[in-house]
Amino acid sequence: MQKAGTGQAGDDGGGLKWLYLDMNAFFASCEQQMRPELRRRPLIVVPVRSDYTCAIAASAEAKALGIKTGTQVKLAKQMCPGLAIVDARPDLYVDIHHRILDVVDTVMPVEKVCSIDEVACLLMGPQRHEAAARALGHRIQKRILERIGECLTASIGIAPSRMLAKTAADMMKPLGMTVLRMDHLPGPLLGLEVDDFPGIGAAMKGRLFKAGISEVRQLWHLSPSRMRQLWGGIGGDNFWYALHGVDPPETVTERHSISHSHVLASELRPVEAARPVARRLTVKCGTRLRRMGLRCGGLHLSIRGTASGRAQAERVFPATSDTFRLLEAIDDMWHQCVGALNQPRIQKVSVTCLRMIPADTPPDLFGYSPAVQEDGRHMKLLKALDGLNERFGKDRVSIGPRPKLHDFVGAKIAFNRVPEVEEFWE
């Protein structure tokens, strides 16, 4: 029953709307879970074996020594001589990611998967009371520990906007629970640094500093139009609303997503005929990444069967815009999805780029994995193909067999596997 005087049903005045879950030191925790000999030890996870790459995760024990995501391996070794250095196992992390989604789903539906270790859930009706929301958070934390493993600790943030809920989840770690009530704002935010908010990276922090804004208190009192001016666009308005507890429209935060999907014509529906479509969509993603000056650190594949039902998979990898790397990931996921779907005919294929970063991102600036994996020869070839297509028209030269997505005949370079780049020059 709704009480008189409260805003929406279930609201106790806190305006709580989102429960945000952020796994603590996720990749490192996965490794400690699977390999008990690594527990209670400082460890980092690396994308490749090199002193010059950076950690993509650090265990709590490593963090206590000042080592964090983005710390160069060489420096990390100096900071901690006994440091365990572990090769990343993306398949393992994706598997545990899906198990976490399943566990959260036993408590409440997942509204949005924000990254491999972060999900957001919407609080409904009576769940919006602070005590009820906290109880849900505790239940999720406990079930993940019980059902997946004792090393997999999660921090929870509960707040009126998704941005504030993510901020809250970051305020207490590990196994934290932070609630930011609308009627207490900005109080609990005032102890933060301006770049503790998602969306304020080093560059934005610098811009704010130049404008004389170095404290959250000052940030809080800016007007939406001043923020628009500082951000150089609508992003500023959106940040203002999110900071003050109102979710901005989704379209703005999603505008940089790259996703291609295709509903298959009848002759492309048999599984083997559908596979080149997935590869073709992946090639398009790669072209767009390069055109937009971006790299992605993951791909998501989703296929829908003609007898309904859907299978999906995700891979994370060092950031790249190298189509050949993307194709490797898709080929790998294709077999997994086809096996899981277990249907002879496919109706729709979708490929989405995840974890996108600007191609010129310096290490650790945005908190993403700074590791990049691109083969110089591949990139040279791909840029040449991009140039040909730009000059002679879309899709004139393509990689791999071209499924008949459109009525078009053009030159093609055919192969069914990831080729050696030399094959192109023969």
C-alpha distances in angstroms, 420 versus 304, 362, 389, 399?
A: 32, 30, 21, 12
> Which lies closer to Mg ion via its Cβ, residue 24 or residue 238?
24
Choose the stretch contacting Mg ion; rule: CB under 5 A; options: 18-26, 100-108, 196-204, 360-368: 18-26
Report in angstroms how near the CB of residue 26 gets to Mg ion at its nearest: 5
- When the beta carbons of 198 and 286 are compared against Mg ion, the nearer one is 198
User: Which is nearer to Mg ion, 99 or 377 (by Cβ)?
Assistant: 99
Write down the least CB distance from residue 117 to Mg ion, Å.
4
Least Cβ distance, residue 297 to Mg ion (angstroms): 14
Cis-peptide into 174, omega within 30 deg: yes
Close Cβ partners of 171 (under 8 Å, ≥ 6 residues apart): 157, 178, 188, 192
Q: What is the DSSP string of 265-328?
A: PGGG-BHHHHHHHHHHHHHHHHHHHHHTTEEEEEEEEEEEETTS-EEEEEEEEEEE--HHHHHH
Q: Are 21 and 154 in contact (CB under 8 A)?
A: yes
Query: How near is the Cβ of 16 to Mg ion at its closest, in Å?
Result: 21
What's the alpha-carbon Rg for the chain, to the nearest Å?
A: 23
* Closest to Mg ion by CB, 117 or 395: 117
Expressed in angstroms, the distance from the first to the final Cα of the chain is 74
Rounded to a whole number of angstroms, the minimum distance from the CB of residue 56 to Mg ion is 12
Least Cβ distance, residue 369 to Mg ion (angstroms): 12
Question: Taking CB under 5 A as the rule, which mask of x and - marks residues 81-110 in contact with Mg ion?
Answer: ------------------------------
Question: Is 61 an interacting residue with respect to Mg ion (CB under 5 A)?
Answer: no
Query: Cα–chain-centroid distance for residue 94?
Result: 12
**Between 22 and 322, whose beta carbon lies closer to Mg ion?**
22
Of the pair 176, 235, the CB lying nearest Mg ion is at 176
According to CB under 5 A, which one of 11, 12, 22, 364 is a site residue for Mg ion?
22
Q: What are the backbone dihedrals phi and psi of residue 324, each rounded to the nearest 5 degrees, phi first?
A: -65, -40
| Nearer to Mg ion among residue 61 and residue 117 (C-beta) | 117
What distance in Å separates the CA atoms of residue 305 and residue 310, rounded to the nearest whole number? Answer: 6
Mark 136-165 with x for binding to Mg ion (rule: CB under 5 A) and - for no binding: ------------------------------
Q: How far is the CB of 212 from Mg ion (least distance, A)?
A: 32
Answer for which of 11, 12, 117, 364 binds Mg ion (CB under 5 A) is 117
Output the DSSP codes for 355-404.
EEEETTPPTTSSSS---B---HHHHHHHHHHHHHHHHH-TTSS-BS----
DSSP 254: T
Stretch that binds Mg ion, among 23-31, 43-51, 219-227, 247-255 (CB under 5 A): 23-31
Nearer to Mg ion, 166 or 295 (CB): 166
Nearer of residues 302 and 369 to Mg ion, judged by Cβ: 369
Size of interface with Mg ion, in residues (CB under 5 A): 3
Closest separation between CB of residue 259 and Mg ion, Å?
24
Two tokens, residue 323: 């189509």
C-alpha to C-alpha distance for 197 and 215, rounded to whole angstroms: 12
Find the shortest distance in angstroms from Cβ 22 to Mg ion: 4
* Structural element, H or E, at residue 136: helix 130-147
Nearer to Mg ion, 28 or 330 (CB): 28
Cα distance between residue 107 and residue 104, in whole Å: 5
Contacts to Mg ion from residues 345-364, by CB under 5 A = none
CA distance 338 to 328: 16
Instruction: Give the nearer residue to Mg ion in terms of CB position, either 22 or 314.
Output: 22
Stretch that binds Mg ion, among 73-81, 116-124, 188-196, 215-223 (CB under 5 A): 116-124
In angstroms, the CA 136 to CA 165 distance is 14
Q: How many residues comprise the chain?
A: 426
Q: Which stretch binds Mg ion (CB under 5 A): 97-105, 113-121, 356-364, 409-417?
A: 113-121
Shortest gap between Cβ of 30 and Mg ion (angstroms)?
11
CB of 23 to Mg ion, least distance (A): 5
What's the token pair of residue 340? Answer: 């899981």
Which residues in this chain contact Mg ion in the complex, by CB under 5 A? 22-23, 117
